Amino acid sequence: MFYNLNITLISVIVALVVGSLEALNILATELNLSGPVWDRIGNLNNSFGLLGVFIVLLFLASWAISTIIYKVKRYDEFEVNIAPGSSEIAIAEGNSKFKVMSSSSER
C-alpha cells in the first residue's frame, strides 16, 4: 500500500508537470509570447528526451526509497487477527433464505 501511494503521487506530479509544460508551450506559441521564462519553457519542451530520462530516474529513486522505508519500518511484518465467528459461511437456499454453517459443521 505504501509503495502504491508513493508511485501514484509521483505519477500525478509528473503528469501535472508535463501537462503544464505542454499547455504553457501552446499558450506561448499561439500568443507569440517571448522572454526568458517563455524561452526556458520552449527549451524544456524541445528536450523531452532529457526530461524523460529524469522522469525514469525519479521513478527508480522513488521505488528504491519506498522499498528501503518499507523494509526498515517492517511494514511486511504485521499481525493479522481474525474476528471471532468469521469462519462461518452463508450458503444460499432458494431465493432469499440463508443458512449459516460453521466451518466445522458437516455439509
pLDDT in tens, the chain (107 residues): 667 888 899 999 999 999 999 999 999 989 988 899 988 988 888 888 888 999 999 999 988 988 888 888 777 776 667 766 655 544 444 444 444 454 554 44
Say which residue the cell 521513478 belongs to: 59
Task: Give the pLDDT of residue 73.
Answer: 79
Task: Give the pLDDT of residue 83.
Answer: 67
Q: How far apart are CA 88 and CA 83, in angstroms?
A: 11
> Biggest alpha carbon distance in the chain?
81
Q: What does the pLDDT look like over 96-105, one tens digit per residue?
A: 444 445 455 4
Question: How many Cα atoms are found within 13 Å in the side-chain-facing hemisphere of 21?
Answer: 16
